[in-house]
Amino acid sequence: MNKFHNKIVWITGASSGIGEALAYQFAKEGAKLVLSARREQELQRVANTTGLNLENILVLPMDMLQFELFPKKVNTVLAYFGQIDVVVQNAGITQRSFVKDTDFNVYRDIMELDFFSTVALTKAILPHFSKRKTGHFVAISSVAGKIGTPLRSGYCAAKHALIAFFDSLRAETWQENIKVTVVCPGYINTPISLHALDGKGNVHGKMDSNQSRGMSAATCAQRIVKAVKHNKKEVYIGGMFEVMAVYLKRYFPAIVYKMVQKVNTAK
């Protein structure tokens, strides 16, 4: 039997990109889904595309910055399905601005969405996992959480913080059979750069060339689901260049420091 058959998988940031692709992949694996993001119409489109029956999917719109509502959202899922088995925390935003040009409030906004919202939802779900002595947190970080690059200082910092937070959580909860998988994608062909924030907090509105040439979201989702299935602790997904850079950073950091100095900084 498929490992995810009849499992309840909650995906945030499910209205586009990697989150949307994960919805389709988990549906193929036989999972029942909870789809969350701000845009209810887009969530409904994704839900319809999965082909799941209404009793097997819950569209749950939520603003990831309204932390105080998270316990209520958890209760809504439990009332609908009775349990949560896997939560994929994928919501987030990136950045395209130099440190010198970035307002401090932009850093706050990035950290609120990319880090603190994930911490808040984790804490809201954790009691349920602890009570059942089972559950799987899947955190979508980034290769940028391993390697700092120009124009992404806030994004890199938030994604780096996610890795550290979930490493600690894993170390604290393994005896309760709570699993943690941290996913670090590289260049994936999604709209993320279109929605990036500039130094003043405005929408960047441009598609990065590296992003447009990146791995498809569908392929990325397949690899994420495979990693979760095999209980991988941390996984790097993307092109050879990005994945190679992570290992170079570990063993030959000086080489990577020189490499990132040559990154194209055209915005």
Q: Is 187 considered catalytic here?
A: no
d(C-alpha 1, C-alpha 144), whole Å: 36
Cβ atoms 155, 95 nearer than 8 A: yes
DSSP letters along 105-162, please?
HHHHHHHIIIIIHHHHHHHHHHHHHHHHT-EEEEEE--GGGTS--TT-HHHHHHHHHH
Q: Which two tokens stand for residue 165?
A: 């937070």
d(C-alpha 256, C-alpha 150), whole Å: 13
Set 107, 155, 187, 236: catalytic member: 155
Cβ atoms 179, 231 nearer than 8 A: yes
Catalytic residues: 155
